[in-house]
Structure 1
Amino acid sequence: MNSQNETKLRRGIAAAGNAAVARNGYVTAIDALLATGWLRPERVEDWRRCRVPYLERVVVASLPKISTAMRIFRSWAESEGMRPSETVYVSWTKDRRRLRFSKSGDPDIERAYRTHWLLPRANGHSGEG
């Protein structure tokens, strides 16, 4: 990915992140991927209904591009002073099974996708400790 495309990706992810935080008080990796245009809302719904085995399957970008977007997303969230909060994603099906994000199923990649980024605490405490 060239630097011009990466700059455009950064801007898109930051704009989507700010919009999601304004709307929900937090932002997700799914918000970031939707912002890229590589993921469509109806495909997220298919994944949530277990019609596809993992989310990356319906992202129309190569794994290296997805990795770049995820790195940019995390970097943006950290630069905004946001707090990571790991969340469990379960299906919208009766069995409420845990959803898988990545082709590999790697625990670190799965964690990155599951992490929601929340507004910093207003009282100035970092939440560490």
Structure 2
Amino acid sequence: MNRLELRKKVHGIVDDLISEKGVVSPLDVFLRLGTITPKLVEEWRFGRVPYLERVLHGNLAQFSYIMSLLRGKARELDLNPSYTAYMRWGKGPKRPLRFSKSGDHNIETSYATHYVLKKPKES
């Protein structure tokens, strides 16, 4: 899939998720694109996979481009960014999950940021 097709697909996914749930996350976008399966997400959430990028299908440049498209579309739609802590599921200590091999704070924050539809102001 070339970048133009990917842009159209990501923008459509963001529009669909916002109309369905009022919120969009990078993980939701990756699931809808088919770059990861729900089963692999579950494995990661239970801590059986060390970091999410390990089980995403594609390459880091593609993931980075998808993330930039998501951020751009969120700005265009005037969505509120909201950091969401992803914690390990299951028994045992609730440790934070990692998204990237490097564990870089900026990359981790980018993956964990959800974009939320602004609530209309009450009068």
The answer, yes or no, to whether TM exceeds 0.5 is yes
| Alignment correspondent of 1:120 | 118
- Where structure 2 has 5 or more consecutive residues not aligned to the other structure, the ranges are none
Question: Which of 23, 29, 32 is matched with 1:32 structurally?
Answer: 29
Question: Which of 70, 76, 79 is matched with 1:79 structurally?
Answer: 76
Amino acid at match of 1:105: G
Q: TM-score, normalised by structure 1?
A: 0.86
Amino acid at match of 2:41: V
Any conservation in 2 of the 1:12–1:35 contact (CA below 8 Å)? Answer: no
1:8-37 Cα shifts (integer Å, max 9, x gaps) = 112221222222222322110001112322
Q: Percent same amino acid at aligned positions? A: 39
Please state how far the C-alpha of 1:86 moved relative to its aligned partner: 0.5
Matched, 1:90 2:116: no
Structure 2 distance, partners of 1:66, 1:113, is: 10
Q: Secondary structure at the match of 1:39?
A: coil
Q: Secondary structure at the match of 1:120?
A: coil
Structure 1 distance, partners of 2:58, 2:102, is: 16
Structure 2 distance, partners of 1:25, 1:121, is: 10
| Alignment correspondent of 1:127 | none
RMSD (Å) for aligned C-alpha atoms:
1.6
Q: TM-score, normalised by structure 2?
A: 0.90
Any conservation in 2 of the 1:9–1:36 contact (CA below 8 Å)? Answer: no
Any conservation in 2 of the 1:90–1:97 contact (CA below 8 Å)? Answer: yes
- Where structure 1 has 5 or more consecutive residues not aligned to the other structure, the ranges are 125-129
